[in-house]
Amino acid sequence: MANYFSDWTPQVNRITYPVPMPNDFRHPTTHPSAHPHSHHGGLHQGVVGQGYGGGPPPPPGIGGGGIVGGVGVVGLQPATALAFDPQAELLWAGDWKGRVASFANRELRRYTAFKIQIDPTEGPVQQFLFHEKGVIVLGRRVVHMAMRRGPVLWNIRHEGMKDLRCMSFTSKGASEILVAGWQDTMFVIDVVKGEVTKQVPAPHHYKIMKRGRYICAATETGRIDIVNPTTFKVEKEWQAHQSYINDMDASGDYIVTCGGSYKQQGPGSSSRVPDPYVNVYDLRNMTSIQPMPFPPLAAYVRLHPRMLTTTIVSSQQGQMHVVDIMNPNTTNIRYAHLQASINLFEIASSGRALVIADNDRNIALWGSPSDGIQFTNIGAPITFPEPEEPAPHVDWSVDAPLSTVGMPYYYGTMLFSAWPADIISDAGAPPPQVDPALLATLNKTEFGYFGPNKTGLRRNQIEDTRASKASNKLQAPKFLSERARDGPVTDSHVDQETLAQDAAESLKPEPPPIYGTLEIKYSRFGVDDFDFGFFNKTKYAGLENQIPNSYANSLLQVMNYTPLIRNMALQHVATSCVTDLCLLCELGFVFDMLQKADGLTCHATNLFKTITGRSESQPLDLLEEDLHSHRVSSTTGGAQPGPAPHTRVQNLCRFLMDKTTVEYQSIQPISTALERTLLKLPDPPSPKELTSKLLTTSAVVRINCTNCRTETARSGDAQVIDLIYPPPRTAIRNARAPRTTFSQVLKMGVEKELGTKGWCGNCKRYQSLQLRKTVESVPAVLTINTMIVQENRKLWATPGWLPEEIGVIVSGGQFFCYEGEDLRVHLQRGAHEITVYSLMGMVVNIEHPPPQKPHLVAMVNVAHSEPTAPAESKWHLFNDFSVRRVSSAEALTFNAAWKLPSVLMYQIKQANNKSNMEWKTRLDTSILYKDLGPPPPPQQQQQHSDEKKTYRLLDEATERPGPGTIVGLDTEYVSLKDQEIQINSNGEKEMLRPMWLALGRVSVIRARGEREGEAFIDDWITIREPVHDYLTQYSGITAGDLDSRTSKHTLVTLKTAYRKIWTLLNLGVTFLGHGLRQDFRVMNIHVPRAQVIDTAVIYHLSAWRRVLSLSVLSRVVLKQKIQQGQHDSVEDAQAALRLYKKYQEYVDAGLWEREIEQIYLRCKAIGFNAKFEGSGDGIMGGGGMVKRTDTPPVGGAVGAADGVAGPTTPVRKAAVLGTAGSVGMVGSGGFGSGGGGGGGGTFTPTKEGSTGSPRR
């Protein structure tokens, strides 16, 4: 018999049985009477292999076995905690004094022993949990983790740990535990770091915790709480027993409990007795199940680890029943013949071993020797210490030489003397030296030194001088301006490949964080300071969600990654269409922007404005309320205006498909060989025929009157298919319910056979009518609204119900659909012409628990839109601006409780990976060479004729922009809504929403040629929305400038101005300006960084946090004053052009590094203020102005710019101005509608503000 809890030591012991010690131990097979110290008893009836009783066969690991080993302990208290290690062949036990021991294999060979606390009076060991790196032990006031071999990993104490009783792993698996007890606070502990990460208020005092689908916690009053493993909130509670719960177990979907109730024994007195039953609860349906009777009074219960519905129940006297939850009347009875009552009861994870501890300090191991007793299914091998070899005998004498003794041979561990010299340890390090410059400012007194605080630290703050100066502890998403400027960026994102293999997210009872509603936070720098890059590590662009109608983001992503729809939109936008409020043009602009963004975040403001401007959208409930006029947080909930998001997006899908079909036919499309080949169309095809083949299901609806049998027919063409589900069938006893497939539901939706009430022209009255569709053809893109109601939710939750591929046959007016094995068989036979469709993506509705609001995400298989087909599917989750890779199983797994698809999009498989870029070679550029503004009103025609034009159109014969062409750009904008600020609890200002801006004027100038600096675009834009502030001081726009009734300028629509810039962008033109990031964002366009030259970036020095304004640079560098009075975008673009030319001159002369330093010093001398009245020619220092010498000219040439005297610069070397190179391009990514992210760039400097934003 192994020695249990005797002679504790922190080392590994090997014990030989029996051991003659004062506290005696006996072998399991030794009868107590055979030993003089028999009063503490052995393991009676413990013959190895002896079976018990009759009855039905027990489950694996229980039947045919008896006590096969044991540990007897004399002179010590009984064990307080027992547990089988699920990862090693070890049995762990703990006692009342906080001591832990482990026993190896079926022989229960002593393995390790250690203490978890110094003071033995602190209380017993309460519970064990197991991690791959060691064992976690819970005491009353301590949580201890040690390696299985004994060394300590960490030991946590906390002032709030007063009476701990139980613990459980959380939703993060084995990396985090929740600790609770008979106290008001629970603790969340990071197992890897060994630290308390959170304190959570405890709803009740808990004594037992088990982890199944949820954390199941038993209270001291007989109650069971079902705790959410993520939020630690109580989801459900049951009063399991009247008085107390003695034992509980949970596994998968079941909880079993045994406890006791009060029993009256006389007037005014009561006692508690065990209940003669075991309670069972179903976690999947959150309901209780019929209790299992146990007449001997249930004391302990365990669920079998391998047989999900099998339980083992034991009484305190040792009677055990093996019971099936589904059939509680059939039991298998066993008896443990013990002299004392049972104290603890556990079953191994393999199901092949069971251990019992009694109050007489004995531990007995049960199992079936014939089947092999094993604690784990696949356990790690246990390593025992090698026996020490005796030291060789040395003939030690006075005359023996020391060389005969020798030195030990070192191996494995490096000697201290061999450590490299560059290893630095803080231990024993001298204190850091105080800065001598600081000491010189201090005054000496009796108690030390004192002086002005120049350290930058606040009172009572201490600087860790040995810590790394670069901070890498800032956890994203921080504001970019709050990051350590030189510190490494910590990537706390989950590894994408690991995530792609995890298909369990959608099976959780509540939406996991990756499906959560996201919210953009604003700093004083606005949206540019938000770290979008934290949410998207892919090359696929996300969309911002802080603007009204952004619920459509998910639908836009699905359409963008459907090649035929994307090709259709881009082919249309490349034509000469200038129709205002054209949805197909705006879709093309969005799709082009998403392609160019390369992982940066964009927004679709212009498209949403167009939807709002269409009168047809009002009655369809397509428009959301202003997200910020009602300030209802997406995380705190509130009333959802209008229809639910999934209904609204289905309505929007019909609206977009209907309107884009009409708009595509309004102008001759740029059809290519790709469409003509795939869709079998003539050259050139008619627009109507092309759209019919792309998007329209052609059908004829036949209407039959059930009374007079009259049949009428009408067109039944549709761009969107609404699914129709079969009615629920009445269940027939012992009959297998027929399986409903997606193909059947799709067929019913296409053919649409239904009955309705309607007017019969023949009967001249309302009659019952029967409608049936005769299908003539199906399009290349199948757009499907799922139309899910409550009765259909479980159908979609069926694993594998939605196929990634379907096959369609249209024959004889009927629609046939096949999937899975049926599709494979039809393709092999080849008897019919079958068209195979691939699932491109879907809009998925995510329903959060109230009071949170539901929202939409997109699941897209981007593999079908890649230029070349990859080897596997590449499903991605687009949750607004969060984009991440998911597995196919995760994408196609739905949850009836919170995750269901709203819109599906299938495309013919032949069109996969067929993105067509021919539209770029056939781009219509006529808009650049003509005026498209509407004629002025009659009363203003004289005023317009007298007005001198501020621009000259490009000459189509001599001025054709293309790659290498540089143009100057500047915009002015007005405010539609003011920013919203609130004061938080700390008294600090917090921005809820930045100022809402709209484009008011766009100016583009020539950057080379005879007319260098002359504008060829100077558009004033009519604005339909009410303007909050014209920002005249900064924009130069007054109240009447943008009103067609009063403006003296020729106004154009936003689309006209946008199309001009978009055309230049796709011609490869490089844009030059100052602070272009904000211009592109307000314009809602994305320009790749290779096509941007930003003088705000060029004239920015990383050592200075300030970004220089255009007016200050013009005064200091060009010696010119601009923006005097009101702003003018043409003047600003010309100033940026001159700054860029001056920069090139400095670079060619090799003086740029020195000159940029001088520029900052000169700007500082005038206070970074262009209106400073000093000369600005010198640098302040030493109380006077030091005159700066001009740059010496090369060859004695002295020049002036535009008649204004300024500093002379060397003559430039021959250089081509039209080459942008990499000037002003910091980091990677691009400029435009994105709010940042993707790894770098600069903050948008304000046009007038002298203070810019720091570099990221």
pLDDT in tens, 671-710: 666 777 777 777 777 778 888 889 999 999 888 888 888 8
- Closest by CA to 669, choosing from 572, 751, 592, 587, is 572
DSSP codes joined into one string, 695-738 = H-BEEEEEEEETTT--EEEEE--BSEEEP-PPPPPPP-TT-PPP
| pLDDT on residue 92 | 94
Indicate whether 651 pLDDT > 60. Answer: yes
- Res 804: pLDDT: 94
Q: How confident is the model at residue 487 (pLDDT cuts 50, 70, 90)?
A: very low
The rounded distance, in Å, linking the Cα atoms of 272 and 244 is 8
- Find where tokens 């250690």 sit: 114
Please tell me which residue, 122 or 636, carries the higher pLDDT value. Answer: 122
Q: What is the pLDDT of residue 778?
A: 93
> What is the DSSP secondary structure assignment for residue 433, as one 8-state letter?
P
What structural domains does the chain harbor?
507-634+642-671 (3.90.70.10), 927-976+992-1096 (3.30.420.10), 1099-1213 (no CATH)
Question: Stretch 428-454: mean pLDDT, rounded?
Answer: 76
Examine the pLDDT at 20 and tell me if it is beyond 50: no
What pLDDT is recorded for position 839? Answer: 96
Average pLDDT over residues 478-491: 51
pLDDT at 1246: 40
Q: What's the average model confidence in pLDDT over 734-758?
A: 84
Instruction: Report the DSSP pairing between strands 711-715 and 223-227.
Output: unpaired
Q: What is the mean pLDDT of the chain?
A: 79
From 299-313, 321-335, 530-544, 1231-1245, the region with the lowest mean pLDDT: 1231-1245
Average pLDDT over residues 485-509: 54
pLDDT tens per residue across span 1018-1067: 999 999 888 999 888 788 888 888 888 888 888 999 999 999 999 999 99
Q: Which residue has the higher pLDDT, 819 or 521?
A: 819
Of 50-54, 876-880, 916-920, the range with the lowest mean pLDDT is 50-54
Q: Give the model's pLDDT for residue 783.
A: 96
3-class state of residue 647 by DSSP: helix
The pLDDT assigned to 641 comes to: 52
**Token representation of residue 764:** 């001249």
- Summarised one tens digit per residue, pLDDT across range 180-221 is 999 999 999 999 889 999 999 999 999 999 998 889 999 989
627 pLDDT above the threshold of 50: no
Checking if the pLDDT of 844 tops 60, the result is yes
Enumerate the known binding-site residues: 970, 972, 1079, 1132
Of residues 422 and 1077, the one with the higher pLDDT is 1077
Q: What count of Cα atoms within 13 Å lies in the side-chain half-sphere of residue 870? A: 10
The conformational region for residue 1009 under phi > 0 = left, psi -120 to 50 = alpha, else beta, is: left
Predicted local confidence at residue 403, as pLDDT: 74
3-class secondary structure per residue, 537-573? CCCCCCECCCCCCHHHHHHHHHHHCCHHHHHHHHHHH
Closest CA to 1190 of 1210, 1176, 1207: 1207
Quickly state the pLDDT bin for 29 (edges 50, 70, 90).
very low
For the residues of 32-94, what is the DSSP string, one character each? Answer: GGGSTTGGG---TT--TT-----SSPPPTTTTT-EEEEEEE-SSSPPPSEEEE-TTBSEEEEE
* Model pLDDT, residue 339: 78
Give the best-scoring range by mean pLDDT among 7-21, 24-38, 257-271, 621-635: 257-271
Which residues touch 731 (CB under 8 Å, ≥6 apart)?
Answer: 737
Order across the sheet with 342-347: list the strands: 2-3, 66-72, 362-367, 354-358, 342-347
Is the pLDDT reported for residue 739 higher than 50?
Answer: yes
Handedness of CA 311, 315, 320, 324 (dihedral sign): negative
Both structure tokens of 75? 């002179």
Q: For residues 441 and 1224, what is the distance between their CA atoms, to the nearest angstrom?
A: 43
What pLDDT sits at residue 711? 85
Would you say the C-alpha torsion 401, 402, 403, 406 has a positive or negative sign? Answer: positive
- Give the integer Cα–Cα distance in Å for 604 and 1079: 15
pLDDT at 1219 over 50: no
Does 632 have pLDDT greater than 50?
no
CB 176 within 8 A of CB 190: yes
Tens digit of each residue's pLDDT (9 = 90 or more) over 1071-1082: 999 999 999 999
Whether 742 and 802 have beta carbons less than 8 Å apart is answered as yes
Residue reference for tokens 């000369």: 1175
Residue range 742-749: mean pLDDT, rounded: 93
Is the pLDDT at 845 greater than 90? The verdict is yes
Task: Give the per-residue pLDDT at 990.
Answer: 80
For the ranges 214-218, 238-242, 459-463, which has the lowest average pLDDT?
A: 459-463
Residue with tokens 């025929």: 689
Given the structure tokens 């941007």, which residue do they identify?
1092
When pLDDT is cut at 50, 70 and 90, the band that residue 1207 belongs to is very low
Tell me the pLDDT band of 1105, cut-offs 50, 70 and 90.
confident
Which is more confidently placed, 42 or 935?
A: 935
Confidence at residue 481, expressed as pLDDT on a 0 to 100 scale: 64
Contacts 24+ apart (CB under 8 A), 628-637: 628/546, 628/977, 628/980, 628/992, 628/993, 631/980, 631/992, 632/853, 633/519, 634/517, 634/519, 634/852, 634/853, 634/855, 635/517, 635/519, 635/852, 636/851, 636/852, 637/850, 637/851, 637/852, 637/853
Backbone angles phi, psi at 1020, to 5 degrees: -100, 135
SS3 420: coil
- Per-residue pLDDT tens over the stretch 1144-1174: 999 999 999 999 999 999 999 888 887 666 5
pLDDT for residue 939: 55
Contact 76, 37 (CB under 8 A): no
The mean per-residue pLDDT over the stretch 1099-1114 comes to 88
Q: For residue 27, what pLDDT band results from cuts at 50, 70 and 90?
A: very low
At residue 998 the predicted structure's pLDDT band, cuts being 50, 70 and 90, is very high
Helix residue spans in 302-389 (DSSP H): none
Which pLDDT band holds residue 15 (cuts at 50, 70, 90)? very low
pLDDT (0 to 100) of residue 160: 92
Q: How confident is the model at residue 2 (pLDDT cuts 50, 70, 90)?
A: very low
Percent of the chain past pLDDT 70, that is, above it, reads: 77
- Cα angle: 860, vertex 863, 864; to 5 degrees: 85
| Mean pLDDT along residues 558-567 | 94
For residues 451-468, average pLDDT: 68
Q: What is the pLDDT of residue 125?
A: 95
User: Looking at residue 411, what is its pLDDT?
Assistant: 59
Residue 1091 pLDDT > 90, yes or no?
A: yes
Which pLDDT does position 336 carry in this prediction? 83
Whether the predicted pLDDT of 737 surpasses 50: yes
Q: Residue for token digits 């076995």?
A: 65
**581 vs 684: which has the higher pLDDT:** 581
Give backbone dihedrals phi and psi of 855, rounded to 5 degrees, phi first.
-150, 175
What integer is the mean pLDDT of 862-868?
90
Structural contact between residues 254 and 283, judged by C-beta atoms closer than 8 angstroms: yes
Burial class (CB in 10 A: 0-12, 13-18, 19+), 887: middle
Identify the pLDDT of residue 412.
Answer: 59
- Distance of alpha carbon 250 from alpha carbon 628, whole angstroms: 46
Q: In which band, very low, low, confident or very high, does the pLDDT at 26 lie, cut at 50, 70 and 90?
A: very low
pLDDT of residue 382: 85
- Residues in the annotated binding site for a divalent metal cation: 970, 972, 1079, 1132
The pLDDT tens digits of the residues spanning 524-540 come to 777 777 888 888 889 99
Q: CA–CA distance from 222 to each of 80, 91, 179 (Å)?
A: 21, 29, 19
Question: What is the residue type of 994?
Answer: P
Confidence of residue 498 (pLDDT cuts 50, 70, 90): low
Q: With contact defined as beta carbons under 8 Å apart, do 1006 and 1016 qualify?
A: yes
